[in-house]
Every structure is written in C-alpha cells, then in structure tokens.
Amino acid sequence: MEIKKQKVVTTIVKEEGRPFRVLQLTDIHIGGGILCFRKDRWALEAVEKVVKAADPDLIVMTGDMVYPLFWATGARNNKRPAKKLATLLQSLGKPWCFAFGNHDGEVFATYTKEQLGEYFKSFDGCLYEKGEEGITGCGNYCIRIENKDGSPAMLLMMVDSNAYITKSFFSGFDVIHDDQIDWYKRTVREQSGDGKVLPSLAFFHIPPKEFKEAWEKCYRGDKSVTYHHGFVLEKDNYFGYPKQKKSNFFKEMVDFGSCKGMFMGHDHVNTLSLTYQGIRLTYGMSIDYLAYIGIKKKHTQRGGTIIEINDDGSFDVKMLPLSDIK
C-alpha cells in the first residue's frame, strides 16, 4: 500500500485483489488523570485488541479521543491522554487519522484542538491535516483511495462537526457549517475532474437530526428506510443531534449525490446503521469506559466498525464487537 501525503488531500493506493479496509473507532475517552488510570488502561487495551483483530489499512477515529474534564479524570491536560493514545497507535504500525469531537478541546482543557492536532501529527502514521484556512472547524480534509491503475475508488472526508454554539456546553451542540459544506462539495468536484462526482464517505462526530428521523420511520415500518444492524440504547431513545441550531449538511449531501455514507459517534451506546435517502448512516461502536456513569459494565456497544471499500466504490459495513475477539 502506497501513501502520498499532501496538504488537505492525501492519496492512498490500495492493494489489488482485496477491499480497502477502514476501521472506525469512536469515543475512546482517554482521561489521562489520576482518577481514571484503570479505565484508561482498559480503553487502550480495547483499542489494541480491536485494531489487531480488524487488521485495517486505515484507522479513522470519529472524535472524543480524549476527555479532559477535571471532575471525572483529575486532569485538564489533554496532551497527556493524547500521548498515550498516539503512542499506542504508532506502535501498531497502521495509518490513522481522525475528526475532532466536542470533548477533545474542551474550554477547560490545557490545549486547543489546533494545538492537539499538531501534536498528533508528530507521531508516525498520523494522516491528520488541519485543513484549509478560513473554513469553520479544525480538521476538514480528504483522503483519496485509489486503485493500483490510478482510478479512484472512494474519497474519505473528515469533517469537524464542531462542539458547542458558544464555548459553553449549555449553549447546545453546534453543526457542520455552510462553508464546510461548500468545502466538501468543492473538494469532491476537484478530485472528480470532468466526470461525474466521485463517491465519498463522511466521518464526523455529532449525528445529524435526520438520523433520528430515519430511525423513527424505520421503527414505524416505513419502507423508505433500510435497517442494517445495531440498536438505539441511549436512555429515552436519545440522539445527540444539535437542537438549538439548524443544519443543512444532510440535505445538501443528498442533493449533491456524492456522499454514500456518514459515520459518527457521540452517543456511546447507540450502534444503529440505516440507509436513508441513499446515504448509509452509521453509529460506530464506541470504546468508552469513562464518560458515561456505569458504562464500564456495559458491553454490547464496545468495539469497532469495519468499512470495506471495493474497487468500484461500493462498500460493506459490519460491527466488530470487543466481546467477539478472543
């Protein structure tokens, strides 16, 4: 496998004769403090087991890799847990990248998302890029998967779903902004050349409102939604989409026609995967032992999600539960 790293767009040439395998990890929540030493160890051990079992060509983390909340961890220094995670990923020898979540650069944390991103980049295997200046968020970038003959198979779009409307948690979750949507579409067009737009998969943290809309239709037996796997196990069937601010992202992606899948995290015990309006919507299996009260005793949500991309741009998705790994 060959990697050609450039600013904003990195190209990976896939091996012939087999699908390109992406492993999605989400909500790892390494705390890095004295109050969570054991839970951090459990999370890192889980990451190692899942990566070794999946044997991916690329690891994509969809946010909340670290959890710098002092009252839960005893620490505000988000570089310390980042070092633990990045050191492990570097030792596993697989290329890796990520989109930020709402907790990675909390307002109380020692380092900003921008600083944390540059720190992650100093480790071998990290394909993260800050992205274009002037675009909302930190870490909007593209990874192009090519076949051996140079033909494109898929574009993997990392998108920062941002954190809060203001710096306060109580302001509500933010959305993917219109200038990020414009960047997404422009990047796909540039990579597509004169032909029809290339297929793409979007990786980000906070789910869109339409995911819950799709689940409600599926629950009622609406045939416009296709159920694939997983469950909604958050209390009161909770979906953590932005409620104080309207997002245009899902509708724009449906109209644009390139995006075939959206992979996210945020809601740690939801593992649902549906197809709605031509887009596969998937909650990745999470790792978290720390953030949710009592989550260390829950097991059905913990693991990774495998996405296998074929030469023609089609793809398959399956869960890899930690409990299934011997």
* 8 A C-beta contact, residue 37 and residue 30: no
Going by the DSSP 8-state scheme, the letter that residue 297 receives in this structure is G
Euclidean distance between the first and the last CA atom of the chain, given in angstroms as a whole number: 28
Residue 181 gets which letter from DSSP? H
Which residues span the domain enclosing 160?
2-324
CA distance 23 to 303: 10
**The pLDDT value given to residue 7:** 66
DSSP string computed for 8-60: SEEEEEPPTTSPEEEEEEB---B--SGGGHHHHHHHHHHHHHHHHHH--SEEE
Per-residue pLDDT of the chain (326 residues; tens, 9 = 90+): 778 776 678 999 999 889 999 999 999 999 999 999 999 999 999 999 999 999 999 999 999 999 999 888 999 999 999 999 999 999 999 999 999 999 999 888 999 999 999 999 999 999 999 999 999 999 999 999 999 998 899 999 999 999 898 776 667 899 999 999 999 999 999 999 877 899 999 999 999 999 999 999 999 999 999 999 999 999 999 999 999 889 999 999 999 999 999 999 999 999 999 999 999 999 999 999 999 989 988 899 999 999 999 999 999 999 999 999 98
Number of other residues whose CB lies within 10 A of the CB of residue 154 = 27
Cβ 309 vs Cβ 199: under 8 Å: no
Is residue 244 a contact partner of residue 171, using CB atoms and an 8 Å limit? yes
Number of structural domains in the chain: 1
CA angle, residues 48, 267, 112, in degrees to nearest 5: 75
User: Position 65: which residue type?
Assistant: M
Within 10 A of 253 (CB to CB), how many other CB atoms are there? 25
Q: Give pLDDT, residue 169.
A: 66
What 3 state SS string does 126-173 have? ECCCCECCCCCCCCEEEEEEECCCCCEEEEEEECCCCCECCCCHHHCE
Residue 107 has a pLDDT of 83
Please give the Cα distance from 104 to 117 (Å, whole number).
Answer: 10
Here the CATH number for the domain that contains residue 271 is 3.60.21.10
Closest alpha carbon to 114 in 160, 58, 55: 160
Q: Which of 138, 122, 36, 38 is nearest to 87 (CA)?
A: 122
Task: Please say whether the beta carbons of 141 and 129 come within 8 A.
Answer: yes
Contact status, residue 253 vs residue 202, Cβ threshold 8 Å: yes
Question: Could you tell me the sign of the dihedral formed by the alpha carbons of 180, 184, 190, 191, in that order?
Answer: positive
- Per-residue confidence (pLDDT) for residue 168, from 0 to 100: 67
Q: How many CB atoms lie within 10 A of CB 157?
A: 24
